[in-house]
Amino acid sequence: MAICLHTVFARHAPSPRQRADVGRRRRDIAQIICGLVVFIFGSAALGASKLERNTGVSWQDAFLRSILAVALLALPVVAALLWWSRPQADEMPKEVWTQTQPDSSGDQEYRVSTPYRLLTNGFFLLMAALSPFFIFAALRDGPGPTIFVSVWLAMMAYGAWWQSQRVAETLTLEKDVLHIYAGRSARRHVDIPLQDIRSIVWPRVGQYITIVHCDSRTWIPTQVKRLDELVVELRKRQPGIGFEGRWPPRRGW
């Protein structure tokens, strides 16, 4: 009896990849919720100052009213984001990566497109240049705009750091290793043996695909040139790599 129960539970026990996928999805959901909570807090603070001027109530009462209203408006956004982030099937036809041999012409390099890099860097530089004016205007108008601008600038600073430290700009594929460089500095890079890559996730919406390796993740902009060819080449060289997403995949913005 004990042997039979052990066999049944072992047969239905989740595999390491399934457990990792569940953990990744939970982290994604937590990030979505945390981001929206921060946005709701900042938006409610901005709305509280307007409500205070129009109704004469205290700022604290106006903030409590605003945070409830903004939270209700955010519920459809939360539902949509959770729907879009649900797990996907592997829609890449098997013959795409099994009927041809891996490219043996040498190291292959993949770079993000120049317009995307200039636009992204230019946006964060513009925000940094304008931040003193935003801060001055917010301090002049009261606590609501001050909180909103502070939260917004903190999110912009985190986005700039994340973009420069965690997002790939150049990828070099050697025989059994994928070298990923964040920005143009050779110091910010990670070397990933292909055998450590568990899966590649091409999302329904968003600008980044995710390479899941060991207990970490690396994000790659969809604006990397020949990115779909890289995904196919990775699966050719390491057939155990999983894939989530449609094929052919969505590209660009």
User: What is the pLDDT confidence band of residue 142, given thresholds at 50, 70 and 90?
Assistant: confident
- For residues 227 and 115, what is the distance between their CA atoms, to the nearest angstrom? 16
Q: Could you tell me if 117 and 230 lie in one domain? A: yes
Between 17-21, 75-79, 124-128, the lowest mean confidence (pLDDT) is in 17-21
Domain boundary among 84, 118, 150: 84
Q: Could you tell me if 79 and 143 lie in one domain? A: no
pLDDT at 11 over 80: no
Give domain status of residue 250, yes or no.
no
Torsion on CA atoms 238, 241, 245, 249, rounded to nearest 10:
-20
Q: Give this prediction's pTM.
A: 0.79
Q: Could you tell me if 76 and 138 lie in one domain? A: no
What pLDDT score does 5 carry?
42
User: What is the pLDDT confidence band of residue 9, given thresholds at 50, 70 and 90?
Assistant: very low
Q: Could you tell me if 117 and 206 lie in one domain? A: yes
pLDDT above 90: percentage of residues in the chain: 30
Domain boundary among 55, 84, 113: 84
Q: Could you tell me if 141 and 223 lie in one domain? A: yes
Q: Tens digits of per-residue pLDDT, 146-189?
A: 888 898 899 899 888 888 887 888 999 998 999 999 866 556 78
Residue 204 near residue 84, CB atoms below 8 Å = yes
Residue 17 or 113, more confident = 113
Domain boundary among 84, 111, 134: 84
Q: Could you tell me if 145 and 208 lie in one domain? A: yes
Residue type, 199: S
Residue 40 near residue 67, CB atoms below 8 Å = yes
Give domain status of residue 253, yes or no.
no
What pLDDT score does 109 carry?
93
Q: Could you tell me if 43 and 136 lie in one domain? A: no
Task: Evaluate the omega torsion of the peptide bond into residue 248 and state whether it is cis, within 30 degrees of 0.
Answer: yes
What pLDDT score does 21 carry?
64
pLDDT at 90 over 70: yes
Give domain status of residue 10, yes or no.
yes
pLDDT at 219 over 60: yes
Give domain status of residue 252, yes or no.
no
CA atoms within 13 A on the CB side of 96: 17
Residue 168 near residue 181, CB atoms below 8 Å = yes
Q: Could you tell me if 64 and 104 lie in one domain? A: no
Q: Could you tell me if 60 and 132 lie in one domain? A: no
Q: Could you tell me if 155 and 104 lie in one domain? A: yes
Domain count, the chain: 2
Give domain status of residue 14, yes or no.
yes
What pLDDT score does 13 carry?
58
Q: Tens digits of per-residue pLDDT, 15-39?
A: 656 666 677 677 778 888 888 888 8
Give domain status of residue 199, yes or no.
yes
What pLDDT score does 184 carry?
60
Domain that residue 199 falls in: 94-244
Residue 35 or 196, more confident = 196
Q: Could you tell me if 74 and 109 lie in one domain? A: no
Give domain status of residue 249, yes or no.
no
Residue 19 or 202, more confident = 202
- Find the CATH number of the domain harbouring 164: 2.30.29
What pLDDT score does 19 carry?
66
Q: Could you tell me if 106 and 42 lie in one domain? A: no
